[in-house]
Amino acid sequence: MHYRLLGLTGLNVSVLGLGGSPLGGVFGAVDEAEGVRIVRTALDCGVNFLDVAPFYGNTRAEAVLGRALRGVPRHSYILATKVGQYCSGEFDFSASRVTRSFDDSCARLGVEYVDLLQCHDIEYADLGQIVGETLPALVRLREAGRIGHIGITGLPLKIFRAVIDQVSPGTVETALSFCRYTLNDSALTALLPYLTAKRIGVINAAVTGMGLLTDGALPPWHPATPAMIAGARRAVELCQRRGQNIVTLAIQFSISNPSISATLVGAVTEEQVRENVRAADSPIDFELMAEVLKELQPIKDHNFMRGRPENRDLLIP
């Protein structure tokens, strides 16, 4: 496993991190005991960056992760969780709610300190509130020594500049983007120079487009358009004809960019964790990568959007 510094945080994170949403059953039921084995296997394989949120499975993912971390030395992993998004459709970025949410997360996780606390999917928020109320509340937690660092997350790319440009340097230390640096959508590329110049650590997630670039059935909540689904299916089938798993290419595509400190990938089984780690450690098949990128060209940077209308990026339909 390789490691990179996460911006100016001083955190040396594994280039492959464990995304916690599957632990909450977001992509199908995962037995709690299996969830514990997933986490322990990831740690055994050198993955030291664990990311979760109270929203995943309505707190279930945090509870499962907390159980998995019992007895694990606290210094041996880097833990990130989030505030602001809770059960389906509930967003509350007020200072009192995010502080209480953090307390509740610590109880479920069985820790007193979190390395990285992130505002979750801020496209659903009034960005003025994020700047004037939410982030100051997180700064107070940081000053109190309860958290190490502060980040923001979201799907639209415009939200990162909109917030970072309004706060003092060092307030926002990380940016977590998902579904925007994948084989079929690399729009994050245009934002990377800005984030690098600001010395902000970049975390990429959902390298398969939340299951779009896999051979499995998409969950019913998936927002991809029919054209995206059809285009992705052609790329998946191309890899199958070559005897390869497109997920391997998706992971390699992300971690090969040195401007991205960590790529979060979830798993629903122990073996899937091992497969993901092998992908991260294996040489890239550049010929196949080129073929897949060519196959995906008709839907390149086409994506779905969500959040408040004023926070959304312009879309390619």
Q: What is the CA radius of gyration of the chain?
A: 18
Catalytic residue, candidates 3, 56, 86, 124: 56
Amino acid at 272: Q
User: Which run of H or of E encompasses 101?
Assistant: helix 95-109
**Which residue's entry shows tokens 């100051």?**
136
* Cα–Cα distance for residue pair 43/165, rounded to 1 Å: 36
Secondary structure (3-state) at 132 = helix
- Residue 238: CB atoms within 10 A of its CB come to 17
Ramachandran bin of 7, using left for φ above 0, alpha for ψ from -120 to 50, beta for the remaining angles? left
Write out the two tokens for 72: 């694990």
Whether 3 is a known active-site residue: answer no
- Find out whether 5 and 12 touch, Cβ atoms under 8 Å: yes
CA distances in angstroms from 117 to 141, 176, 230, 298, listed in the order given: 9, 11, 37, 37
Active-site positions read 56
